[in-house]
């Protein structure tokens, strides 16, 4: 995949072009009520150490029992990534000492993950689509959290996260720019949210990425990579890649070489710095966890989960293009967030009548999205309802109001009448478009007679028509049907 | 009847149900015996208040006609089983003051059935040892002595406290655990009966883990019938242990006394070791004769990978232990020794908290799992484990009902006699028992005779998975054929 070099992606160095190679390990918290191997709650934001079972605290003699819901979520995710589902997988222990790791090992999947190779289709821009290969997905326990700010002399540990289920989703090194990596994570997050297998809240740590970056001259073999740990926003992922690529290029252009190591990204300083070298890397002493049997299920189980999967973004996009005649770009924007897509469809089909899908799309992705963005909400989270948008579009289509007036109505809906009916607003405020030709004609005649010099100019230069239209609209308070105004003016001016 | 403590578990059960005795008086008799036997160091914690309260409740239930399977029976609990609100140490300094807020499934099963807890029994630290000498709280001294000698002997290990307490009449039965022979070897050394059931038969939940894929709990008792009664209570599926097996638990007592006629008894030729004392060979031959006399048919079988079992065991078990014991880090519970930083605290805590043998096994386990050695050690050991299982499968495919072997390569030895210079000397104790753990099979040790020095010797029967019934039936044959175990006189009292 993506083996041919795309010149537009190359970074210009002092000594020539460089290609950036990126692979991502995304840690996605599984949406589940309880933890991967215990019954403790996974609720975010609880008081420290309140969601901790005896198993999570690794008390002597405690044993893990797999949470079936987490297994189902991993399988659903695998299906959503068009990936191989492994009917037999094995949990291993990854051994290391750390205060937030109560067992002294993390239960993970090493040699036999639950999900194998898959594919994600990513829209990088309105005109560019790439495929990113998925290497594997495995289930593992999250660790707890060390708190260093509670006391001057001691560190504290909060085990609420300890044992929460994570899916580690490992991509192939198929990305060639920060933009591609950002678009991949966005798409992955969209898929997870559609599936309901991860809420994708990066600010709560539900989605984090380890970013592998290397650079090479176009056409050469892969360079030595560095892994940037635990990057927790899409913006930072992009910044970390660009920063790290430039660091590596600078070293190589100075005749140096890259050391394979783990690094941290500091968004404040805009730099990555070494965390540990290859020599300092842990020896995790992986071995199969003897407390757990291999995880086995049959194809019928997978088929059942597959049959209950929701429509996924790619399929929805195709359907929007086919059923609603939307351009790929509009469809792509709408389906990026499932609730927005649902909102859009609810508006198009409101009241059991279908209205102009493109017009609805323009409003949802345009003015409505702009408002939502300005208040930091998703479209579906705003108080604007699909019914209001549908009615607004109906009013335009019926030629009851112009598009310009519709914007005014939307502003009223946003600021003044939160549950207002656009039709009633138009009625009450007298915003109805004037289609009575008599009234418009009177206005036209008045303008023409008052401005003989402009009439002469317009007859010589027809683009002056716009000035007349503006004057008529002004006179009619914006309510005149623009089409009628145009036609009347053209006839009367003889242009 | 001279002493209440002379009753077997089965006798006491019947006498309690018939209200000939009360649990309160039985419990008092045992508490008195325990107090007198403190020189044996079998109990790490006596729980007399607990015991008397439980006994009173038992007597009330018996009066109401609500007696459970073990109603009123006083038991000792190996201090590897977590007991709610009662200190549980694993005989380690690192857990010296650990009081679990939970009860192991097995002990909960016993209390459900009406058993009474007398206290917590000594063991090798984290069950690592074959002589009880690795206990942080000092070794258990066997109630047995060599004829004409007062030299202190080992009761075996790791369930040394359990075996000694049962042999010395300090409880009617005791829980024990067996990772490589820790039930069967001490049973053989003390003239008691010990069964390690099939892996998955008893829940491991709440039992401090040594090597998860090998650990299995079972009872040590005075008679085969007592073991059958006690195992029925201990065993059963536990959804909290993913390796526990969901099969009904039979009434093991029913098979006792049943004919074993026509059963084919495998005699593995590889178990006849060159270095084995002659009296062990004679004991084995005697057992074979008893089988024949009972109508069973001894058949020579081959278990060709036997000689690799011990080395492979000493890779697998320490590997798992090195990981299982990582949680004793001083962070959340147990001993904490301050250090200059977090790594320092780990080092100080674990260096001081673990004894020498435990540290040795953690080091071995860490080594065999480390990069570059994993394939050479751990992976190969697992392959050997598979071959050992196949050996047994092939034997059982030849219509073998059970396998008869010696339980130990010698009688009990003196404290300090073995393993001081070379730990392998101690590890060799498990030579006949580890194969059974590696294959996950049930095995029972039954007293079968005495050594030239007057010490008990035991035979081992190995069964098919989940066929403990056949083992009990055959063990009952050995028990009734062998000369009665002459009790150690209470020199400690």
pLDDT tens digits, one per residue of B42-82: 999 999 999 999 999 999 999 999 999 999 999 999 999 99
Touching check for A99 and chain B: CB below 8 Å? yes
Report the number of secondary-structure helices (H) and strands (E) in chain A.
16, 16
Residues in CB range of A351: below 8 A, 6 or more apart: A387, A390
Residue pLDDT, tens place only, B411-452? 999 999 998 888 888 888 899 999 999 999 999 999 999 999
Residue pLDDT, tens place only, A7-46? 888 999 889 999 999 999 999 999 999 999 999 999 988 9
Residue pLDDT, tens place only, A480-495? 777 778 888 888 888 7
Residue pLDDT, tens place only, A90-119? 999 999 999 999 999 999 999 999 999 999
Residues in CB range of B85: below 8 A, 6 or more apart: B99, B100, B101
- Given a cut of 80, whether residue B481 has pLDDT beyond it is yes
Catalytic residues of B: 78, 158, 182
- Given a cut of 70, whether residue A424 has pLDDT beyond it is yes
Q: For chain A, give the mean pLDDT.
A: 92
What is the DSSP code (8-state) at residue B139?
A: P
B124: pLDDT confidence band, cut at 50, 70 and 90?
A: very high
A5: pLDDT confidence band, cut at 50, 70 and 90?
A: confident
- Given a cut of 90, whether residue A274 has pLDDT beyond it is yes
Question: Residue B138: what are its φ and ψ, rounded to 5°?
Answer: 90, 160
Q: For chain B, give the mean pLDDT.
A: 96
DSSP B340-377: SSHHHHHHHHHHHHS-HHHHHHHHHHHHHHSTTTTIII
Touching check for A285 and chain B: CB below 8 Å? yes
Q: How many angstroms separate the CA atoms of A481 and B2, rounded?
A: 117
Residue pLDDT, tens place only, B277-335? 999 999 999 999 999 999 999 999 999 999 999 999 999 999 999 999 999 999 999 99
d(CA B323, nearest CA chain A) in Å: 7
Nearest CA in chain B to A60: B208
Q: What is the pLDDT of residue B1?
A: 43
Stronger pLDDT, B1 or B269, i.e. the higher one:
B269
Interface list for chain B against chain A, based on CB atoms closer than 8 Å: 81-82, 88, 90, 95, 98, 100-102, 104, 204-209, 211-213, 239-243, 319-320, 322-323, 325-327, 329, 331-333, 342-343, 346, 366, 369-371, 374, 378
Stronger pLDDT, B423 or A334, i.e. the higher one:
A334
- Segment B252-270 shows an average pLDDT of 97
- Segment B364-379 shows an average pLDDT of 96
CB-CB under 8 Å, A60 with B326 = no
CB-CB under 8 Å, B101 with A54 = yes
Residue pLDDT, tens place only, A114-155? 999 999 999 998 889 999 999 999 999 999 999 988 888 888
Q: What is the pLDDT of residue A417?
A: 59
All residues of chain A having their beta carbon less than 8 Å from the beta carbon of residue B98 are 60
Structural domain range at position B73: 1-493
Of A103, A155, A283, the CB nearest to B327: A103
CA dihedral A203, A207, A208, A214 (to 10 degrees): -130
CB-CB under 8 Å, B319 with A65 = no
- Given a cut of 80, whether residue B381 has pLDDT beyond it is yes
CB-CB under 8 Å, A155 with B242 = no
The number of folded domains in chain B is 1
A-B interface: how many C-beta pairs under 8 angstroms? 97
- Segment B350-379 shows an average pLDDT of 97
Please, is A178 exposed, middle or buried when counting C-beta atoms within 10 Å of its C-beta (0-12, 13-18, 19+)? buried
Of A65, A104, A290, the CB nearest to B327: A104
What is the DSSP code (8-state) at residue B252?
A: G
All residues of chain B having their beta carbon less than 8 Å from the beta carbon of residue A285 are 322-323, 366, 369-371, 374
The proportion of chain B whose per-residue pLDDT surpasses 90, expressed as a percent, equals: 95
Please give the structure tokens belonging to residue A65.
């029992």
- Given a cut of 70, whether residue A435 has pLDDT beyond it is no
d(CA A76, nearest CA chain B) in Å: 24
CATH number at residue B219: 3.90.1300.10
d(CA A369, nearest CA chain B) in Å: 50
Residue pLDDT, tens place only, A179-223? 999 999 999 999 999 999 999 999 889 999 999 999 999 999 999
- Given a cut of 50, whether residue A2 has pLDDT beyond it is no
DSSP B457-487: EEEEEEESTT-HHHHHHHHHHHHHHSPPPPP
d(CA A203, nearest CA chain B) in Å: 29
Assess contact for B407 and B455: CB atoms under 8 A: no
Closest CA relative to residue A124, chosen from A195, A187, A212, A170: A187
Assess contact for B198 and B468: CB atoms under 8 A: yes
Query: Chain B interface, mutation test: which of A38, A54, A63, most B Cβ atoms within 10 Å?
Result: A63
Q: How many angstroms separate the CA atoms of A426 and A420, rounded?
A: 10
Stronger pLDDT, A483 or B254, i.e. the higher one:
B254
ipTM above 0.90, yes or no: yes
Of B207, B243, B374, the CB nearest to A293: B243
Nearest CA in chain A to B81: A61
Q: Residue B357: count other Cβ atoms within 10 Å of its Cβ.
A: 18
Residue pLDDT, tens place only, B168-220? 999 999 999 999 999 999 999 999 999 999 999 999 999 999 999 999 999 99
List of domains in chain A = 7-305 (no CATH), 311-428 (no CATH), 437-493 (1.10.10)
- Given a cut of 80, whether residue A416 has pLDDT beyond it is no
CB-CB under 8 Å, A97 with B346 = yes
Q: What is the pLDDT of residue A480?
A: 79
Closest CA relative to residue A163, chosen from A41, A282, A266: A41
Q: What is the pLDDT of residue A1?
A: 44
- Given a cut of 70, whether residue A418 has pLDDT beyond it is no
d(CA A377, nearest CA chain B) in Å: 42
């Amino acid at each position: 995949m993506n083996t041919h070099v795309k010149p537009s992606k190359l970074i210009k160095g002092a000594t020539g072009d460089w290609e950036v190679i990126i692979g991502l390990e995304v840690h996605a918290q599984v949406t589940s009520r309880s933890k991967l191997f215990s019954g403790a709650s996974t609720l975010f934001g609880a008081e420290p150490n309140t969601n901790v079972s005896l198993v999570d605290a690794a008390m002597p003699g405690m044993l893990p029992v797999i949470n079936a819901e987490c297994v189902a979520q991993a399988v659903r995710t695998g299906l959503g990534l068009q990936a191989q589902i492994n009917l037999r997988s094995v949990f291993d222990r990854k051994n290391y000492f750390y205060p937030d790791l109560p067992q002294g090992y993390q239960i993970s999947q090493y040699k036999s993950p639950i999900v194998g190779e898959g594919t994600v289709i990513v829209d990088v821009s309105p005109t560019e689509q790439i495929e990113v290969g998925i290497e594997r997905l495995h289930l593992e326990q999250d660790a707890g959290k060390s708190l260093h700010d509670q006391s001057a002399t001691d560190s504290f540990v909060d085990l609420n996260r300890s044992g929460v289920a994570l899916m580690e989703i490992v991509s192939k090194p198929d990305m060639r720019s920060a933009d591609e990596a950002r678009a991949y994570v966005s798409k992955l997050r969209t898929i997870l949210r559609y599936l309901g297998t991860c809420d994708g809240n990066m600010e709560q740590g539900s989605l984090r990425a380890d970013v592998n970056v290397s650079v090479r001259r176009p056409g050469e073999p892969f360079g030595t990579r560095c892994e940037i740990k635990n990057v927790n926003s899409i913006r930072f992922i992009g910044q970390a890649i660009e920063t790290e690529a430039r660091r590596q290029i600078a070293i190589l252009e100075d005749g140096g070489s890259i050391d394979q190591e783990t690094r941290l990204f500091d968004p404040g300083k805009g730099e990555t710095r070494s965390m540990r070298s290859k020599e300092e890397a842990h020896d995790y002493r992986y071995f199969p966890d003897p407390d757990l049997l291999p995880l086995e299920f049959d194809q019928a189980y997978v088929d059942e989960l597959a049959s209950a999967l929701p429509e996924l973004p790619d399929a929805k996009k195709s359907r929007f293009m086919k059923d609603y005649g939307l351009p790929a770009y509009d469809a792509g924007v709408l389906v990026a967030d499932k609730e927005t897509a649902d909102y859009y469809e609810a508006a198009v089909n409101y009241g059991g009548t279908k209205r102009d899908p493109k017009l609805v799309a323009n409003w949802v992705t345009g003015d409505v999205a702009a408002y939502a963005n300005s208040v930091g909400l998703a479209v579906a989270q705003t108080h604007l309802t699909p019914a209001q948008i549908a009615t607004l579009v109906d009013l335009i289509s019926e030629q009851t109001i112009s598009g310009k007036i519709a914007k005014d109505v939307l502003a009223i809906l946003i600021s003044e009448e939160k549950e207002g009916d656009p039709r009633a607003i138009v009625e009450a405020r007298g915003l109805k478009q004037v289609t009575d030709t008599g009234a418009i004609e009177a206005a036209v005649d008045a303008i023409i007679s008052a401005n003989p010099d402009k009439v002469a100019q317009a007859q010589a230069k027809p683009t002056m028509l716009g000035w007349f239209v503006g004057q008529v609209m002004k006179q009619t308070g914006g309510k005149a049907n623009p089409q009628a105004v145009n036609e009347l003016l053209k006839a009367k001016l003889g242009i | 009847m001279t002493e209440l403590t002379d009753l077997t578990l089965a006798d006491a059960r019947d006498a309690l149900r018939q209200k000939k005795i009360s649990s309160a008086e039985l419990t008092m008799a045992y508490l008195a015996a325990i107090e007198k036997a403190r020189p044996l160091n079998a109990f790490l914690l006596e729980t007399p208040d607990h015991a008397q309260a439980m006994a009173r409740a038992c007597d009330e239930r018996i009066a109401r006609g609500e007696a459970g399977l073990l109603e009123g029976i006083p038991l000792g609990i190996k201090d590897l089983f977590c007991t709610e609100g009662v200190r549980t140490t694993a005989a380690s300094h690192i857990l010296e003051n650990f009081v679990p807020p939970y009860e192991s499934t097995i002990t909960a099963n016993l209390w459900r059935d009406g058993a009474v807890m007398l206290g917590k029994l000594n063991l090798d630290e984290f069950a690592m040892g074959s002589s009880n000498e690795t206990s942080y709280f000092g070794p258990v001294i066997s109630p047995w002595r060599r004829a004409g000698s007062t030299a202190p002997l080992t009761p075996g290990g790791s369930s040394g406290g359990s075996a000694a307490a049962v042999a010395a009449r300090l409880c009617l039965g005791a829980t024990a655990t067996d990772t490589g022979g820790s039930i069967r070897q001490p049973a053989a050394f003390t003239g008691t009966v010990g069964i390690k059931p099939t892996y998955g038969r008893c829940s491991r939940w709440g039992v401090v883990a040594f090597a998860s894929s090998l650990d299995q709990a079972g009872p040590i008792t005075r008679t085969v019938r007592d073991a059958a009664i006690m195992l029925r209570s201990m065993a059963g599926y536990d959804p909290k242990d993913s390796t526990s097996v969901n099969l009904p638990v039979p009434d093991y007592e029913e098979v006792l006394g049943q004919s074993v006629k026509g059963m084919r008894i495998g005699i593995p030729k590889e178990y006849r070791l060159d270095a084995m004392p002659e009296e062990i060979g004679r004991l084995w031959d005697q057992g074979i004769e008893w089988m024949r006399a009972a109508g069973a048919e001894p058949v020579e079988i081959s278990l060709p990978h036997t000689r690799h079992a011990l080395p492979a065991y000493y890779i697998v078990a320490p590997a798992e232990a090195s990981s299982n014991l990582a949680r004793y880090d001083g962070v959340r519970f147990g001993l904490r020794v301050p250090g200059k930083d977090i790594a320092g605290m780990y080092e100080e805590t674990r260096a001081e908290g673990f004894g020498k043998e435990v540290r040795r096994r953690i080091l071995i386990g860490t080594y065999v799992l480390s990069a570059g050695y994993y394939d050479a050690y751990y992976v190969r050991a697992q392959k050997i484990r598979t071959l050992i299982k196949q050996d047994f499968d092939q034997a059982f495919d030849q219509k073998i009902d059970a396998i008869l072997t010696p339980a130990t390569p010698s009688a009990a030895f003196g404290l300090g006699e073995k393993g001081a210079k070379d730990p392998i000397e101690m590890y060799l104790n498990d030579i006949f028992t580890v194969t059974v753990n590696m294959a996950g099979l049930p095995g029972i040790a039954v007293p079968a005779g005495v050594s030239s020095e007057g010490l008990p010797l035991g035979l081992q029967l190995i069964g098919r998975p989940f066929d403990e019934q056949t083992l009990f039936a055959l063990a009952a044959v050995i028990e009734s054929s062998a000369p009665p175990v002459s009790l150690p006189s209470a020199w400690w009292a």
